[in-house]
Amino acid sequence: MSSSSRTKAPTSTRTRRNYGVSSSPSKIVADLDDVLLHILSFLPIKALIKCKRVSKRWRSLITNPNFSNRIITSKHPLPISGLYLQGTRREIEYRFVSLDNDQLSLPSQLRFADHPTSIIVVQSTNGLLLCKCTCHPNHFNRNYYVYNPTTKQKTLLPPITDHVSLSLAFDPSISPHYKVFCLRKSISSVSSASSASSVSPVSSVYSVSSDLYHIEVYSSNEGPWRRVTSVPSFTLPQTLTDLSNTVFWNGAVHWFWFGPNSRDCLSFDISREEIKTLPLPYLDYQDYDETPDVGTLSFTEESRGNLHFIEVNDLGSSDLPVYEMETNSSTWSLKHHVDLEPLAAAFPEIVRTEYYTYRKIYSFSVIGFVKGETDAESYIVLHIPKMAVKYNFVSKTFKKLCSFEPSQDDDDGGDNFYGFRRSFQFIESLANV
């Protein structure tokens, strides 16, 4: 048979052959959204952030709320990647300490691209930050934001005045939506102990105050501030000066305060909309009339569903007790002891002489607590002069995480062991705000 009389292959066959030659398996897979999303779901958050740069289509798939919510839920609880440490200088400055890799702790100013002033972190919760910024020209005005430092997304909260403290609540294993609770001053009408006790069961615990307070809530899916009407107005201690230490744990927001005559925690259960006081650990020094050291340190933090409390009242003691409250418990247990003596042997700069008593004291601050999947993986992060170190509770070993190099305005090179007032967890997350 001549070549001219050969029967040609059907067009569909030729098309299939050409498709098989010109299209690689990777391209075919990339064209199937379901398969691609399944593959992407196995990647860590950090890798997913980089994958958004591959193409507009990949970015659209990864930033889709359905996908990001699925990732957050499947990987919960997300690991703590690092800590933001707030400086003491007039210019708001943070240093970032990585818990994943050894690297230099660099000073930085957290800013939004469209805002002229630095942001101040108020609270960190499961990958989201509650922040505030001053507003020009009146620096007493504040804008409050919920910010995801991983995705750089932010939401401006509606304005609110006469507030004492704000607290962020976000549990991605339960809901992709977050809430912000506001402890707000009401009217001044309480003038006697009897009237105070009739306002709220919580009020009877405290000394009488002329001010009443209530709680308001903003929800990311429901909108503007509303008053929580199921909670009656209540009073707070007259000696109360600071409620900035707030923690979200076990479905409730907690406001901690430590005053001359009070050590309390105000707890608001979100689902039940109930307010109560949470007891703090009973410490030995409370048996004595002597007041704690001037430099008393306290630290409260949530990690992997448990609440942790640390308080230092004797800077001359090498023993650092760590208390823990589990989700299904209402009492504190003494979970760990940190012995500072081995740490002092390796880093002698931690030991100093108190200038007015000449006694030996330990110079440190607690800046982080990381609970691992097992106790053997759990550790505490301490700020000692010029560096941050982590101490493993079970192995009793420690490791230097980073050095605190001096910044432009830091003339002591991070030598002040109270150099960071607050620390905030950094958790990589795709949560939408």
Give tens-digit pLDDT for 219-262.
999 889 999 999 888 887 766 667 778 999 999 999 987 655 55
pLDDT at 52: 81
pLDDT at 105: 58
Whole domain around residue 57: which residue ranges? 23-63
From CA 147, how far away is CA 129, in angstroms rounded? 5
Higher pLDDT, 330 or 285: 330
In a domain, 36, yes or no: yes
Token duo for residue 340: 């500072």
pLDDT at 304: 87
pLDDT at 283: 62
> Region 46-68: what's the mean pLDDT?
82
Q: Which one of 36-45, 88-97, 134-143, 337-346 scores highest in mean pLDDT? A: 337-346
pLDDT at 197: 41
In a domain, 17, yes or no: no
Is the pLDDT at 394 greater than 50? The verdict is yes
User: How many folded domains does the chain comprise?
Assistant: 1
pLDDT at 7: 43
Is the pLDDT at 169 greater than 90? The verdict is yes
Is the pLDDT at 425 greater than 90? The verdict is yes
In a domain, 266, yes or no: no
Alpha helical stretches, state H, 155-219: 193-199
Pairing assessment for the beta strands 365-370 and 262-269 based on DSSP bridges: unpaired
| Long-range CB contacts for residues 368-377, cutoff 8 Å, separation at least 24 | 368/80, 368/83, 368/97, 368/99, 368/301, 368/423, 368/425, 369/299, 369/301, 369/303, 369/308, 369/310, 369/322, 370/80, 370/99, 370/303, 371/303, 371/304, 371/306, 371/308, 372/304, 373/304
List 339's β-bridge partners, or say none.
319
Cα torsion through 170, 174, 177, 182, rounded to 10 = -40
pLDDT band at residue 323, thresholds of 50, 70 and 90?
A: very high
Residue 164 neighbours by CB under 8 Å, 6+ apart: 183, 184, 185, 213, 236, 243
pLDDT at 143: 87
Higher pLDDT, 308 or 94: 308
In a domain, 56, yes or no: yes
H or E, element range at 66: helix 65-75
pLDDT band at residue 73, thresholds of 50, 70 and 90?
A: confident
Residue 414, sorted as left (phi over 0), alpha (psi -120 to 50) or beta, turns out to be left
> Region 277-306: what's the mean pLDDT?
68
In a domain, 43, yes or no: yes
Closest CA relative to residue 122, chosen from 155, 149, 86: 86
In a domain, 209, yes or no: no
Which one-letter DSSP state was computed for residue 141? Answer: -
Residue located via tokens 């890798």? 47
pLDDT band at residue 270, thresholds of 50, 70 and 90?
A: very high
In a domain, 230, yes or no: no
Say if CB 411 and CB 88 are below 8 A apart.
no
User: Rounded mean pLDDT of the chain?
Assistant: 77
Higher pLDDT, 193 or 277: 277
Higher pLDDT, 143 or 295: 143
From CA 337, how far away is CA 389, in angstroms rounded? 16
pLDDT at 69: 78
In a domain, 408, yes or no: no
